[in-house]
Amino acid sequence: MNTALCPDFTLEAVYESMVALPVFPKIVHRAMSVLDDPQKNISDVANIIKFDHGLVANILKLTNSAMFGLSQQVSDLETALALLGQNRIREVLIASAAMPYLSRDLHGYEMSPQDLCYHSVGCAMISEVVSQRLDFPHSSELFTAAILHDIGKIVLDIYVGPRLIEVLDRSRRQESDFSTAEWEVIGTDHAVAGSSILQHWEFPRDICRAVRAHHDPDLYIQNRLSAMLAFCNIITVQLGIGVGTDNFRYRLSDQLLYVLDCSERDYYSCLEEAIRVLDDAKDVIRLIFG
């Protein structure tokens, strides 16, 4: 490979470059803190975010989409928040703030903006199906991890783009998953990069850990949130949702199913429901991209 294509490439340079990324809106973290305060109410949340017009526009767009399934169309922020309820507010805040990051080309992964967004939104919506089927009590945390789990691809595509050609070639020649090829070629993968970004953005430790582990079987079986995220991602990939170069190379292991106490019947029920909600995910993508 011609290293002149990326003369400054080192892992240290990649991680240092992460701090140059636009910061995840701090206003979202402030709003989430208010949601946790029993002395505050929906109006307090609305007052925090109402002056961020781009965020409000995204919140209303997503709230009126099939993603959140309200029975009526809403046109003002406070009504939208009141109808959503606390857990849904968390989800719509994260999804709304994430959209500008997810709506971009990833040439090294052969993913269009629609691919990345569809995969991320699809995985998040599948996480709700899986949470309900497997009685997972932390559905909002899983939703957050699911919609942001591939955020590391953005960093690697920007700062290591030329080397992703080599990663892609190795993945195809060895018929290995893309994450394995990333480790072999550049010494890290998008899961590690994504976890580092989320730590920089001050996301909770459990969410950062789940994103870090979602391609690593030795890690994701150690923690239920991590195992749930891995399960949701594998289902999303198996259904061919915005897979890019990852194709269909990720497989469910018996060990993962055992850790999740997921029976064969549960698995196929999740698949069946996932297919249904992905029609709603397409509605979200149409709203975002027109």
> Which pLDDT score, from 0 to 100, does residue 1 have?
38
Question: 153 with 79, same domain?
Answer: no
Domain boundary among 60, 81, 100: 100
Q: Write out pLDDT tens, residues 90-107.
A: 988 998 888 888 888 888
> Which pLDDT score, from 0 to 100, does residue 30 have?
92
Distance CA 100, CA 237 (A): 22
Share of the chain above pLDDT 90, in %: 41
Question: 108 with 96, same domain?
Answer: no
Q: Write out pLDDT tens, residues 184-221.
A: 888 888 899 899 889 888 899 999 999 999 999 999 99
Question: 124 with 63, same domain?
Answer: no
Per-residue pLDDT at 159 exceeds 90: no
Question: 177 with 265, same domain?
Answer: yes
Q: Indicate whether 14 belongs to any domain.
A: no
Who wins on pLDDT, 49 or 5? 49
Q: Indicate whether 78 belongs to any domain.
A: yes
Per-residue pLDDT at 5 exceeds 60: no
Q: Indicate whether 2 belongs to any domain.
A: no
Question: 62 with 122, same domain?
Answer: no
Q: Indicate whether 46 belongs to any domain.
A: yes
Distance CA 257, CA 216 (A): 15
> Which pLDDT score, from 0 to 100, does residue 14 have?
63
DSSP state of 21: S
Q: Indicate whether 182 belongs to any domain.
A: yes
Q: Indicate whether 12 belongs to any domain.
A: no
Residue type, 140: S
Question: 148 with 179, same domain?
Answer: yes
Average pLDDT, the chain: 85
Per-residue pLDDT at 182 exceeds 90: no
Task: Say which range, 86-90, 174-178, 256-260, has the weakest mean pLDDT.
Answer: 174-178
Closest to 142 measured CA to CA, from 30, 244, 223, 201: 223
Distance CA 63, CA 78 (A): 12
DSSP β-bridge partners for residue 106 = 111
Who wins on pLDDT, 130 or 16? 130
Question: 92 with 113, same domain?
Answer: no
Q: Chain centroid to CA 157: how far?
A: 16
Domain boundary among 79, 100, 121: 100
Question: 278 with 174, same domain?
Answer: yes
> Which pLDDT score, from 0 to 100, does residue 18 have?
63
Question: 166 with 203, same domain?
Answer: yes
Who wins on pLDDT, 22 or 137? 137
Question: 94 with 178, same domain?
Answer: no
In angstroms, the Cα distances linking 46 to 80, 222, 250 are 10, 38, 41
End-to-end CA distance of the chain: 39
DSSP state of 3: G
Question: 115 with 228, same domain?
Answer: yes
Three-class SS string for 232-281? HHHHHHHCCCCCHHHCCCCCCCHHHHHHCCCCHHHHHHHHHHHHHHHHHH
Who wins on pLDDT, 289 or 224? 224
How many other CB atoms sit within 10 Å of the CB of residue 49?
A: 22
Question: 135 with 84, same domain?
Answer: no
pTM: 0.85
* Domain of residue 95, residue span: 22-100
What confidence category does residue 248 fall into, taking pLDDT thresholds of 50, 70 and 90?
low
Domain count, the chain: 2
pLDDT average, residue stretch 226-231: 97
Q: Indicate whether 16 belongs to any domain.
A: no
